[in-house]
Amino acid sequence: MSKPNDLVQGTLDLLILKTISLEPKHGWAIAKRIQQISGEVLQVQQGSLYPALHRLEQKAWIKAKWKETETGRQAKFYSLTAAGRAQLEQEAENWSRLSAAINLVVETT
């Protein structure tokens, strides 16, 4: 099982930003979504999301709002700010450059 520290910190940030880029989500939903989309490959230890979420919030890349869920419970929903969107674009670009480069290296040797 992959542990949270197997995920490079910047990568977790990228995953979070990407996950909430479409619509606001609360922490549990973000964890679920990452697991689902990655086909259960990325097993984020759920709790380690929270330090990351709060760090991103302090950087004002994401903002949070307490809202009711469909089931009528109060939850903290995170969404992207304008600065966060710019950050997401930049990190996504960095990531694709990096992964493309790694692919290239792995495949040619």
Partner 1 sequence: MVWARRLWLRLQTVFRRERVALRLDDEIQFHLNQQIAENIARGMSAEEARYAAMRTFGNPTYLKEETRDTWGWIWLENFLRDLRYAARVLARTPAFAIVAILVISLGIGATTSLFTVVRSVLLKPLPFKDPSRLIRLYEHDADGKFPYNVVSGGVFGEWKKQSQAFSDLALVSGDGTEYGLSGTGGQLPEKVRASECTWNLFRILGVEPALGRSFAAADDQPSAAATAILSWGLWKRRFGGDPAILSQTIHLDMKSYTVIGVMPSWFAYPAQATQLWTPIYHEESAETIQALDDHEFIAVGRLNPNTTETQATAELSLIVRRLHDEHRDNPFVSDAANSRPLLEDMVGDIKTPLYVLLAATGCVLLIACLNIANLLVARSATRRRELAIRTALGGSRGHLLGEHLTETFLLSAVGGGAGVMLAYAVIQWFVATRQDMSRVEAIHVDGVVVAFALGLIFLCALFAGMVSSFSVSGDHILSSLQESSRSYSAGPGRVRLRKWLLAVEVALTVVLLIGAGLLLKSYERLRASNLGCITNNVLTMRFNLPDAKYSQPVQRVNFFEGLLERVRALPGVEAAGLGRAVPGSGYWGDGGFLVAEHPPLPLGQAQYAITRWADPKYFAALGIPLLRGQTFDANQRLDKADEVIVSESFARQYFGDEDPLGKHLLKFGHAHKIVGIVGDTRFLIAKPAQPIMYFPMYDGTMTGGSLAVRSNHDVTPLALPIQQIVQQLDPELAVSDVLTMDQMIGKSTLDASFNATLVLAFAILSLTLAAVGLFGVLSYIVAQRTTEIGVRIALGAQRAEVLRLMLSDGLRPASLGLVLGLAGGAATSQLLRDLLYGVPPLDSRVYATVTILLLAVASMACLLPAWRASRLDPVQALRNE
Q: How many residues bind partner 1 (CB under 8 A)?
A: 25
Identify the CA nearest to 56 among candidates 94, 95, 23, 88.
88
> Cβ closer to partner 1: 89 or 101?
89
Instruction: Considering only the stretches 5-13, 16-24, 27-35, 89-97, report the one whose residues sit in contact with partner 1 under the rule CB under 8 A.
Output: 27-35
For residues 16 and 26, the answer to whether their CB atoms sit within 8 Å is no
Q: Which of residues 29-88 bind partner 1 (CB under 8 A)?
A: 31, 45-48, 50-51, 54-55, 57-60, 63, 66, 73-76, 81, 83
C-alpha dihedral (11, 41, 73, 14), degrees to nearest 10 = 10
Between CA 36 and CA 15 the distance in angstroms is 12
Binding site for partner 1 (CB under 8 A): 4, 26-28, 31, 45-48, 50-51, 54-55, 57-60, 63, 66, 73-76, 81, 83
